[in-house]
């Protein structure tokens, strides 16, 4: 019998999650039945969408039930297989969540060899970040919705994160002019290293003026992953026919009530009309089944040869996942947040 | 010399326009120079967008200046031509505005013969409605943004108007299920005659419940031309991947301030994300240069053979234009509003 340590949802957060909302449990795992495998989690991805799933409010995914293991993308090692597709020692991609071991249906797993990430000398955790869900979110949001053209201005916030940094670098590849927004001078400096044409600190008192100065020709694509005051600053600068892929609203995730009035939603619709804007929500899984291969074919070689940079913020041990997660929601991470659960 | 009577913007309305915002003037017109024609206005189209242009606030068109003739689409007769493209007696489409006569540059005019409307036995005013700007707004918004699929539910308000009635009828042609919203029992009855699968009175106390009942499978396309309480009722019923072409917000045009709080704009963005919605503002002129021919090729024969119905609300005399216009903004019209300026 294998013992799994897991972190479950103890209570629903009201505002920012705290340690009290989580509970660590240990459980004995059953032997895998036919079609199943026993996995050891190696790397766990932490992402803002998990906050949405901790609430009961309807979102794009069903909420996590109380007592249920917190969800999350993982790279795992097969310890025992009852499915012909996998053998002991194989590395697999899946959604095992916040736990050290699990029994999973083989059909929910992808062999990491299918991504050719290891063949290219990249670490397995790249499958959770630059070449995984966040990277694909950036790529598919731009390919299908943002459609940056040469010379256009593309703005993204949380720009040192795994989605934002990829948005900027892909926009640059397309000949567009990426403008990145991040918090603090160290991150802003990193944006310049990544090739952003302009980098802005949202903590600066003159943030709005800086954004205006950095977008003299307005904004053609705003890749929305934060909401809040960044969105307020961007909206008046969106050009006619601007496109706004909306993949996340992390600034709102911890909100417990709507902001005070006036109600600006009619003004938002009015702006959409006046500027012929396209605002389009999306989740990467809409495009993943048909476009992941094209994404990997274009981007994996560019990551391997260093054309595209990425940065990971690694926390050791599942015990530290809660702190890493609350830090992520506050923007304290610097790069893709990975919890190294085992080596 | 020809005398023109014209209606100019006397003052900017604060809320709903009143007679005081307009002033009637007479002016002597000069003889047309080379490349110009002298026109007599026959039919003047009244449309909600004109309200937006009476305000100084930035919209999708430049505001009308004080003292300037109110704009508007027209069918006119050529009285005198100094351009080889037009001869005396020709009927032309243009934007002569709220005046009995005008001197226009020939390059801003289209011979009505180019539309083949008269060849099909249809009245010239059809070029301002069902086969003109409003009809094309409906068609192009559905073709490019709404993209109704067979079996999908398409909702439109102001559904007896020239845009809404066309949205419903085109949706039906595409195999979708149109649900129309209008004000009052007479209009609701007319929606059923037009082939809408369901018709709802927005003045009914149980309007929201009626909308819920009429859209048991949710809403896939909402063609937004009104905003306000209809939008509020529609938003929670939009399905994943629903499309919302936004061509007008007549409920907001007379607003002088934003509604009281809370500020629902973050909730609107949240819904766009949670449901992978597409909200897209547009003005028909984005598509007109490249798609008008396809529109006329499909729709003109269907109007001529009666497959597509349309209804006009004709007011006689430019003197009555102001009253017809304020009625239009209040939804007192029943069909496309035309002012018959001359025969």
| Tokens (6 digits) for B51 | 């309200």
Pairwise CA distance, residues A118 & A161, whole Å? 22
Q: Is B72 helix (H, G, I), strand (E, B) or coil?
A: coil
Residue of A nearest to B59 (CA): A274
Residue A254 predicted with pLDDT over 80: no
Contact predicate B22/B8, CB 8 Å: yes
Residue of B nearest to A263 (CA): B263
Look at the pTM and tell me if it is higher than 0.90: yes
Residues of chain A within CATH 3.90.180.10 domain(s) are 2-126+312-340
| Structure ipTM | 0.93
Cα angle, residue B192 at apex, residues B189 and B193 outer, rounded to 5°: 90
Compute the nearest-CA separation of A328 from chain B (Å).
Answer: 20
Compute the nearest-CA separation of A185 from chain B (Å).
Answer: 28
DSSP string computed for B166-189: HHHHHHHHTT-EEEEEESSHHHHH
Residue of A nearest to B275 (CA): A60
Residue A222 predicted with pLDDT over 80: yes
Helices first, then strands: H and E counts in chain A: 10, 15
Burial pattern A305-336, b for ≥16 Cβ within 10 A else e, equals eeebbbbbbebeebeebbebbbbbbebebbbb
| Tokens (6 digits) for B135 | 């009809």
Residue A259, pLDDT score: 87
Residue B58 predicted with pLDDT over 70: no
Residues of B with CB under 8 A from a CB of A: 58-60, 224, 227-228, 231, 241, 246-249, 252, 255, 257-283, 286
Residue B107 predicted with pLDDT over 70: yes
Residue A158, pLDDT score: 93
Mutation pick from A272, A281, A287 vs chain B, by most beta carbons of B within 10 Å, is A281
Residue A182 predicted with pLDDT over 70: yes
Pairwise CA distance, residues B75 & B97, whole Å? 10
Comparison of pLDDT for A264 and A74, the residue scoring more: A74
Pairwise CA distance, residues A163 & A141, whole Å? 10
In this complex, do A263 and B268 lie within 8 Å of one another by their Cβ atoms? no
pLDDT band at A341 (very low <50, low <70, confident <90, very high): very high
Q: Is B130 helix (H, G, I), strand (E, B) or coil?
A: coil
Residue B77, pLDDT score: 98
In the block, which residue shows the tokens 């600066």? A204
Sign of CA dihedral B299, B304, B309, B313: positive
Considering the segment(s) B2-129+311-340 as one domain, its CATH architecture is Alpha-Beta Complex (3.90)
Residue A121, pLDDT score: 93
> Which residues 6+ apart lie within 8 Å of A190 measured at CB?
A160, A182, A311, A334
Residue A277 predicted with pLDDT over 90: yes
Burial of A89 (0-12, 13-18, 19+ CB in 10 A): exposed
Contacts of A260 in chain B (CB under 8 A): 261-263
Cα angle, residue A319 at apex, residues A316 and A325 outer, rounded to 5°: 80
DSSP string computed for A58-113: --SSPPPPTTSBPP--EEEEEEEESSTT--TT-EEEE---SBSEEEEEGGG-EEGG
In this complex, do A224 and B282 lie within 8 Å of one another by their Cβ atoms? no
Contacts of A228 in chain B (CB under 8 A): 266
Burial pattern B205-216, b for ≥16 Cβ within 10 A else e, equals eebbebbeebbe
Residue B341, pLDDT score: 98
| pLDDT tens column, B172-219 | 999 999 999 999 999 999 999 999 999 999 999 999 999 999 999 999
In the block, which residue shows the tokens 């026959």? B42
Residue A57, pLDDT score: 75
Contacts of A255 in chain B (CB under 8 A): 266
| Tokens (6 digits) for A191 | 């944006």
Residue B62, pLDDT score: 83
pLDDT band at A59 (very low <50, low <70, confident <90, very high): low
Residue B256 predicted with pLDDT over 90: no
Fold held by A2-126+312-340: Quinone Oxidoreductase; Chain A, domain 1 (3.90.180)
pLDDT band at B250 (very low <50, low <70, confident <90, very high): confident
Residue A58 predicted with pLDDT over 70: no
Residues of chain B within CATH 3.40.50.720 domain(s) are 133-285
Nearest Cβ partner for B252 among A246, A252, A266: A266
In this complex, do A274 and B249 lie within 8 Å of one another by their Cβ atoms? no
Residue of A nearest to B53 (CA): A274
Average pLDDT, chain A: 95
Considering the segment(s) A133-285 as one domain, its CATH architecture is 3-Layer(aba) Sandwich (3.40)
Pairing mode, strands B101-105 and B36-45: antiparallel
Nearest Cβ partner for B268 among A60, A241, A268: A268
For residues B145-165, average pLDDT: 97
Contacts of A274 in chain B (CB under 8 A): 58-60, 281
| pLDDT tens column, B74-90 | 999 999 999 999 999 99
Pairwise CA distance, residues A53 & A325, whole Å? 13
In this complex, do A263 and B262 lie within 8 Å of one another by their Cβ atoms? yes
Nearest Cβ partner for B249 among A241, A273, A282: A273
In the block, which residue shows the tokens 């190696």? A42
Pairwise CA distance, residues B244 & A265, whole Å? 15
Pairwise CA distance, residues B201 & B181, whole Å? 6
pLDDT band at A25 (very low <50, low <70, confident <90, very high): very high
Contact predicate B246/B280, CB 8 Å: yes
Question: What Cα–Cα distance (Å) separates residue B178 from each residue in B194, B215, B321?
Answer: 10, 10, 32
Compute the nearest-CA separation of B222 from chain A (Å).
Answer: 14
pLDDT band at A250 (very low <50, low <70, confident <90, very high): confident
| Tokens (6 digits) for A131 | 């070449």
Residue B253 predicted with pLDDT over 90: no
Residues of chain B within CATH 3.90.180.10 domain(s) are 2-129+311-340
For A318, which DSSP code?
G
| pLDDT tens column, A155-167 | 999 999 999 999 9
Helix B265-274 vs helix A265-274: crossing angle, to nearest 10: 70
Residue of B nearest to A235 (CA): B265
In this complex, do A276 and B60 lie within 8 Å of one another by their Cβ atoms? yes
Question: What Cα–Cα distance (Å) separates residue B94 from each residue in B72, B76, B89, B107, B283?
Answer: 8, 8, 15, 10, 17
In this complex, do B258 and A264 lie within 8 Å of one another by their Cβ atoms? yes
Residue B59 predicted with pLDDT over 90: no
Compute the nearest-CA separation of B48 from chain A (Å).
Answer: 13
pLDDT band at A47 (very low <50, low <70, confident <90, very high): very high
For residues A203-228, average pLDDT: 96
Q: Is B263 helix (H, G, I), strand (E, B) or coil?
A: coil
Residue B251, pLDDT score: 80
Contact predicate B69/B8, CB 8 Å: yes
Residue B57 predicted with pLDDT over 80: no
pLDDT band at A61 (very low <50, low <70, confident <90, very high): confident
Average pLDDT, chain B: 95
User: Which run of H or of E encompasses B134?
Assistant: helix B133-141
Pairwise CA distance, residues A226 & A51, whole Å? 13
Residue B172, pLDDT score: 98
User: Which run of H or of E encompasses B36?
Assistant: strand B36-45
Of the candidates A5, A22, A47, A119, the residue with the CA atom closest to the CA atom of residue A313: A47
Burial pattern B103-121, b for ≥16 Cβ within 10 A else e, equals bbebeebeebeebebeeee
Residue B316, pLDDT score: 98
């Amino acid at each position: 019998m294998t013992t799994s340590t897991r972190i479950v949802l103890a209570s629903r957060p009201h505002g920012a999650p705290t340690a009290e909302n989580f509970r660590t449990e240990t459980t004995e795992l059953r032997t895998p039945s036919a079609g199943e495998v026993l996995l050891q989690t190696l790397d766990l991805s932490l992402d803002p969408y998990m906050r949405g799933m901790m609430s009961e409010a309807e979102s794009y995914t069903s909420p996590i039930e109380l007592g249920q293991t917190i969800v999350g993308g993982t790279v795992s090692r097969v310890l025992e297989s009852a499915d012909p597709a996998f053998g002991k020692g194989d590395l697999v991609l899946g959604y095992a969540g916040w736990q050290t071991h699990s029994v999973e249906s083989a059909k929910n797993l992808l062999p990491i060899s299918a991504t050719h990430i290891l063949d290219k000398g990249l670490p397995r955790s790249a499958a959770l970040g630059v070449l995984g869900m966040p990277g694909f979110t950036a790529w598919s949001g731009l390919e299908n919705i943002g459609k940056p053209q040469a010379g256009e201005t593309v703005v993204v916030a949380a720009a040192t994160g795994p989605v934002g940094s990829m948005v900027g670098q892909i926009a640059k590849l397309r000949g567009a002019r990426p403008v990145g927004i991040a918090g603090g001078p160290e991150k802003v400096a990193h944006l310049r290293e990544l090739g952003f044409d302009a980098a802005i600190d949202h903590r600066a008192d003159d943030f709005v003026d800086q954004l205006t100065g950095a977008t003299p020709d307005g904004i053609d694509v705003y890749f929305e992953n934060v909401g809040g005051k960044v969105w307020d600053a961007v909206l008046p600068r969106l050009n006619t026919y601007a496109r706004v892929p909306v993949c996340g609203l992390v600034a709102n995730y911890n909100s417990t009530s709507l902001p005070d009035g006036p109600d600006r939603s009619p003004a938002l619709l009015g702006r959409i009309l006046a500027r012929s804007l396209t605002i389009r929500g999306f989740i990467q899984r809409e495009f993943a089944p048909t476009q992941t291969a094209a994404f990997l074919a274009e981007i994996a070689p560019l990551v391997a040869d260093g054309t595209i940079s990425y940065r990971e913020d690694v926390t050791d041990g599942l015990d530290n996942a809660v702190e890493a997660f609350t830090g992520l929601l506050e923007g304290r991470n610097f790069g893709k947040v990975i919890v190294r659960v085992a080596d």
